Chains A and B, each alone.
Chain A
Amino acid sequence: DADVTQTPRNRITKTGKRIMLECSQTKGHDRMYWYRQDPGLGLRLIYYSFDVKDINKGEISDGYSVSRQAQAKFSLSLESAIPNQTALYFCATSSPGQGGGYGYTFGSGTRLTVV
C-alpha cells in the first residue's frame, strides 16, 4: 500500500458543486499539506497542518477549506467548484526533524476537472 493515498484519482465535477478530496497516510507524520499543480505555475501550497489542531492557509487558500480529521487524514474541500480550480492536486506529509523537505512524501495526485 502507498504511504500517502489520495482519493479519488480522477474527478470531473460541475461548476457550483461541492467536492471533497481525501488524503490518508501511513507514515505516522504529523505534518500534512495540500498543493495544486498547474502548467507553468508549478506546485503551489493551498493549506497545511502541523498537527490535528493546527490548520494554516497557504498562498492560494481562497475557495478551499480543509479538515484534519485525525493525524492520518487531511481532506480538502471545494465548497463551490469553479473552472479555474481545474488542476492536479497533491497531498504530502513530512516529519519535523528530518530537515529540509526530503521528509516530504507525496501522494499520486487527484486530477480534478471542473466543467
Chain B
Amino acid sequence: DQQVKQNSPSLSVQEGRISILNCDYTNSMFDYFLWYKKYPAEGPTFLISISSIKDKNEDGRFTVFLNKSAKHLSLHIVPSQPGDSAVYFCAAKFQGAQKLVFGQGTRLTINP
C-alpha cells in the first residue's frame, strides 16, 4: 500500500509562473517530509524539507507547505525556471527511524 502518494505523474508550467507539486500521505506517524529532485542519468538530490511541527519552510524560490490535518504537502516553485525541469519525489520519514518512504514522482516540465 502506497503510504506516500504523488497523484500527478506530470506537470507542465510556463517559465516564470508558479509550479505547485502535491503529495499526500496516509500515516500520521511520519515526522519529517522531504522533496528530492532528479535529473536524467543522475541520482536524486535533496531539495527542501519540513518537520511535522511546522507548516511552512522556505528556501529561495522553493517553499514547502504541510497540512497535517489533510495529510498533504505541497512544493511551490516561484518563479519557475527551465532548469527546474526534472522529476520531483516527495519522501517521508517515520519518527525514530531514518529510512525514507518515497512517492511515485512527478515529472515537471518548464516551457519557455
Interface residues of A (CB under 8 A from B): 4, 31, 33, 35, 37, 40-45, 48, 58, 90, 92, 94, 96, 99-104, 106-109
User: Residue A106 contacts which of B9, B41, B45 (CB distance < 8 angstroms)?
Assistant: B45
B13 CB, min distance to chain A CBs, angstroms: 21
A58 surroundings in chain B (CB, below 8 A): 99
The 3 tightest CB contacts between A and B, nearest first, are A106-B43, A43-B102, A100-B32
Q: Given A101-B91, A101-B93, A42 and B103 touching (CB < 8 A)?
A: yes
A8 to B93, CA, bound (A): 29
- By the criterion CB–CB under 8 Å, are B98 and A31 in contact? yes
A107 CB, min distance to chain B CBs, angstroms: 5
A100 to B103, CA, bound (A): 16
A44 CB, min distance to chain B CBs, angstroms: 7
- Closest chain B residue to A48 by CB distance? B99
B24 CB, min distance to chain A CBs, angstroms: 13
- Closest chain B residue to A9 by CB distance? B41
- By the criterion CB–CB under 8 Å, are A90 and B44 in contact? yes
Q: Mark B86-107, 1 if CB is under 8 A from A, else 0.
A: 0001010100001111111100
- By the criterion CB–CB under 8 Å, are A33 and B42 in contact? no
